Structure 1
Amino acid sequence: MYPDRVVSGMRPTGSMHLGHYHGALKNWIKMQSEQPCLFFVADWHALTTHYDDPSIIEKSTWDMLVDWLAAGIDPTQATLFIQSKIPEHAELHLLLSMATPLGWLERVPTYKDQIENLANRDLQTYGFLGYPLLQAADVLIYRASEVPVGDDQVPHVEMMREIARRFNHLYGKEKGFEEKAQDAVKKLGSKRAKLYNELRTAYQQEGDDAALEQAKAMLDDAQNLSMIDRERLFGYLEGARKLILVEPQAKLTEASRLPGLDGRKMSKSYGNAIALREDKDAVTKKIRTMPTDPARVRRTDPGEPERCPVWQFHVVYSDGPTQEWVQKGCKSAGIGCIECKQPVIDAIVKEQEPMHERAQPYLDDPSLVRAIVADGNEAARKLAQETMRDVREAMGLSYG
C-alpha cells in the first residue's frame, strides 16, 4: 500500500566526529542508493536536553548538514530536512499523545539511562519523557518501512510499532474491512488460507506471539497478493482494521565501534573526539598524544595491543597485514608507539581528504546548503501533509 522508505535523524548538539561517521553516516550513505531515504536534523529533540541553552542549536544544525554532505550524503538521492520546519510532526505527536499509555514512555530503557547519566541536567520535564513519542511521530508521519538503528535503539522502534498498531486499532475503520480481508484470505490458496486462519485464531485468542510471527512470515512470502490485500491481512491478523500508520521495522546497522582517543566512547563532551572535518595537523597531534598500553613505559617494554586504545583504531582503519605488524611489533617491543600510530594517522587523513573537498563549496557559499534544505523541507512536508489528512479523517477532525 505504501512504498518502502527509510527515515532517520540526528540531534544537532555539537560537531560531528568520526564516531558518528562510522556509527551511522556510513550506513546512511550506503542506504541512500538502495531505497528512498529521508534524513532530518532533529532540532526539537535537541531541546529535550538543551532547553535551558538553545544557543548552540542553530549553528550546530548548519554545521551538521555540511558534515553530512561532506561525508557523502547525496541530496539528489536522499531528502534532507529540518524537523521544526515540518509542523505536522508536532501535530501528530500531540494526537498520538492522547492515546499513548504513560507506562509505555516510562519503560523505554534509554529514558532511565539518560536520567542517570545526565544527572547534572534537570530532565524532569514533559518534553524529555515524551521524546520517544515525538521520535515515533517523526517516523510514522512518513510511513517509513525501515529505521536504521543500533541495538540500543531497538526498543524505540518496537514502541513505534506498538503506537502505530494501537492507532490503527482505535481509528482504522475501513468500510467493509472484514469482508475485504476474508476475500484476501481466499487469494492465499486453500492450504495457506487454512493455516492463516489457524494462526490468526491462535494469536487473537491465546496471545501466541510465535503464531503471529509465523503468519507474518507467510504473508511476506506470498507472491500473488497486492500491496493493499497484504496490508489488510496484516491488520486482520492482529485484530486491527484499516492501516493508517505503517509499523516500521528496525534495520539493524553494522556500526564500527570507534572509541574516543582515551578508549571511552567518542564524545565532544569528553574531549576525546576527532571531528569529521578535522585539520590534518590536529589529527596528527591528537593521535600522536593518544595514551597507549600502560605497561609500555619504555620503548623496550613489550605491550599488549588489546589494552591500548590505538589498537581499536587499527581494527577500524588498518588492513590485515598492518594489524599483524602491530600485534607482533607491540608484543615483542619491535616497534615503538609513535611508529604504531603512523598508519592510523595516514588512514584518517586519507579518509578525510575527500570530506574537506566536498565541504568546501558549501563553506564558500552557505546558500547552497540552505537551498538543498529548502527543497528537502518542501518534499518532506508534502508527505507529512498526506499522512495528516488521513490521520485527521480517521480521528474525526477533518471537518470545516
Structure 2
Amino acid sequence: MTASTTQQIILTGDRPTGPLHLGHFVGSLRNRVAYQHDYRQYIMLADAQALTDNMEDTGKVHRNVVEVALDYLAVGIDPAKSTIFIQSQVPELAELTFYYLNLVTVARLERNPTVKEEIRLRGFERDIPAGFLTYPASQAADITAFKAHVVPVGEDQIPMIEQANEIVRRFNRLAGRDILVECKALVPEIGRLPGTDGKAKMSKSLGNTINLGASEAEIRAAVKMVYTDPLHLRVEDPGHLEGNVAFLYLDAFDPDKAALAEMKAHYVRGGLGDSVVKKRLDLVLQELLAPIRARREEFAKDRGQVMQMLKEGTMVARETAAKTLDEVRAALGLSYF
C-alpha cells in the first residue's frame, strides 16, 4: 500500500434488483476486491435509485438488498476493509440531491447521453419518471457525500461522472472555496460482457445471465445456450471470433492464456467444434464459481449477521455523509442553530 493511494476514497455500488452475475464480476466486483487493499472504499446498495424504475415492484428491491450483499461477501469483499451501506438509510444523500437539483437544468439532464440511452432502452419516451431523469444529481450526491476521488464505472457511465463534476465545480464557485471534491472515472480494462444470447448487455430482465450463485447444473445449461458463430455450421469450417460470446467469456475468465490462444487459432483455421469450446468454458466457469457459491451458501446461513454488517456499514456511511452535508448547508447559509 503506497502513501499516494491510502488517502484516496473510492465509491462504487450496484442497484439491488436481482442477484449479481458474471457481467458484474468481470466489470467491477473482482476489481473491488483489489481496491479495498489500496483505497478507502465505500460500496453502496443503491436501493433508492432502483426505485426510479421499479416502483411497481418495491418488494423485489427490498428482497435483493441481502442477496446482493451475499454476493459481495462471497466474492471476497471484506466489511472490515470496505464500508458496505444501504443508500435509502442514509437520508443525507437525499438532502444533498435536493440542493444539487438547483445547480442543473432540465435541458442539461435530458442531454446526458447515458440518461438518453437508458430512457430509450426502457421505452419511457416522454413518460419519464422524474426520479429517473434526475439520476445524475442523485449520483453526484452519492459521490460527493464521501468526497470520493475515484468512481469505477463502465464507459457508458462517463457522462454521469462528467455531470457530477460540473455540479461540484458550480457549487464550489458559489461557495467561494473548494468544499466538494471532483472525482475521476476508473474504467476497467475488460468492460461490459454481452449476454449469453449475444445481446449487447448481460441483463437479468433479458434472462441472459449466469448468476454468481448459479448451481453446477445451471452453469452447464447456460453454457450450452451460449451464442457462438452462426456461420460455423461444420466442425471443419473456419470459425469467427468476433461477436463469439464463448470466446469473449474465455478471454475474461480463462487463466491459461497460452492454451486459449492456441484454441482460438485452431477455431479460426477450422477443425474445432463449438462443443469443444463450450466444454472448456464450462470447466472454467465451474472452477471460478464453485468457491464463490460455497462461500455464499455459508454466509446465507446467518442472514441476520449480514443485516447487522449492513447496519454497521450504514452507520459509518451516515457519519461521513453528515459531515459533508453540514459543510454544504453552511455554504448555502442554511445553518441556523
Q: TM-score, normalised by structure 1?
A: 0.78
**Partner residue, 1:54:** 58
Deviating more after overlay: 33-42 vs 325-334: 325-334
Task: Give the direction of change, closer, same or farther, for the CA distance of 1:53–1:336 in structure 2 (3 Å limit).
Answer: same
Q: Equivalent residues in 2 for 1:96-115 (5 A)?
A: 96-115=100-119
Q: Is the 8 A contact 2:202 2:209 kept in 1?
A: yes
CA shift at 1:310, angstroms? 1.5
Q: Is the 8 A contact 1:150 1:255 kept in 2?
A: no
CA shift at 1:257, angstroms? 4.2
Amino acid at match of 1:336: G
Q: Equivalent residues in 2 for 1:242-321 (5 A)?
A: 242-264=177-199, 265-306=201-242, 308-318=244-254, 319-321=256-258
Q: Is the 8 A contact 1:27 1:254 kept in 2?
A: no
Amino acid at match of 1:354: P
> What is the distance in 1 between the residues matched to 2:261 and 2:106?
53
> What is the distance in 2 between the residues matched to 1:119 and 1:289?
28
1:296-344: CA deviation from partner (whole Å, max 9, x where unpaired): 3344444333353212122223333322332343245433222221121
**Partner residue, 1:380:** 317
Q: Is the 8 A contact 1:41 1:81 kept in 2?
A: yes
**Partner residue, 1:370:** 307
- Cα RMSD after superposing both structures: 2.0
**Partner residue, 2:3:** none
Bigger Cα Rg? 1
CA shift at 1:120, angstroms? 6.0
Task: Give the direction of change, closer, same or farther, for the CA distance of 1:69–1:123 in structure 2 (3 Å limit).
Answer: farther
**Partner residue, 2:271:** 334
CA shift at 1:69, angstroms? 0.9
**Partner residue, 1:237:** none
CA shift at 1:104, angstroms? 2.5
SS of structure 2 residue aligned to 1:98: helix
Q: Is the 8 A contact 1:148 1:251 kept in 2?
A: yes
Deviating more after overlay: 132-141 vs 100-109: 100-109
**Partner residue, 2:26:** 22
Task: Give the direction of change, closer, same or farther, for the CA distance of 1:256–1:350 in structure 2 (3 Å limit).
Answer: farther
Q: Equivalent residues in 2 for 1:202-241 (5 A)?
A: 241=176
Q: Is the 8 A contact 2:154 2:191 kept in 1?
A: no
Q: Is the 8 A contact 2:237 2:270 kept in 1?
A: yes
SS of structure 1 residue aligned to 2:115: helix
CA shift at 1:141, angstroms? 1.0
1:132-190: CA deviation from partner (whole Å, max 9, x where unpaired): 1011011111111111122211111111111111111112xxxxxxxxxxxxxxxxxxx
CA shift at 1:353, angstroms? 1.8
CA shift at 1:389, angstroms? 1.3
Task: Give the direction of change, closer, same or farther, for the CA distance of 1:49–1:303 in structure 2 (3 Å limit).
Answer: same
**Partner residue, 1:346:** 283
SS of structure 2 residue aligned to 1:48: helix
SS of structure 2 residue aligned to 1:6: strand
**Partner residue, 1:212:** none
SS of structure 2 residue aligned to 1:305: coil
Amino acid at match of 1:313: Y
Q: Is the 8 A contact 2:71 2:212 kept in 1?
A: yes
Amino acid at match of 1:315: D
Q: Is the 8 A contact 1:256 1:316 kept in 2?
A: no
Task: Give the direction of change, closer, same or farther, for the CA distance of 1:285–1:93 in structure 2 (3 Å limit).
Answer: same
SS of structure 2 residue aligned to 1:160: helix
Q: TM-score, normalised by structure 2?
A: 0.91
> What is the distance in 1 between the residues matched to 2:124 and 2:100?
30
**Partner residue, 2:170:** 166
Instruction: Determine which of 256, 273, 297 is the counterpart of 1:360.
Output: 297
Instruction: Determine which of 10, 14, 19 is the counterpart of 1:10.
Output: 14
Task: Give the direction of change, closer, same or farther, for the CA distance of 1:349–1:394 in structure 2 (3 Å limit).
Answer: same
Count of paired positions: 330
CA shift at 1:384, angstroms? 0.8
> What is the distance in 2 between the residues matched to 1:378 and 1:329?
55
1:175-219: CA deviation from partner (whole Å, max 9, x where unpaired): xxxxxxxxxxxxxxxxxxxxxxxxxxxxxxxxxxxxxxxxxxxxx
1:271-296: CA deviation from partner (whole Å, max 9, x where unpaired): 21111111011111221233432233
Task: Give the direction of change, closer, same or farther, for the CA distance of 1:249–1:257 in structure 2 (3 Å limit).
Answer: closer
CA shift at 1:80, angstroms? 0.2
Deviating more after overlay: 383-392 vs 317-326: 317-326
> What is the distance in 2 between the residues matched to 1:82 and 1:76?
16
SS of structure 2 residue aligned to 1:54: helix
Can you give the 5+ residue segments of structure 1 that lack an aligned partner in the other structure?
Answer: 172-240
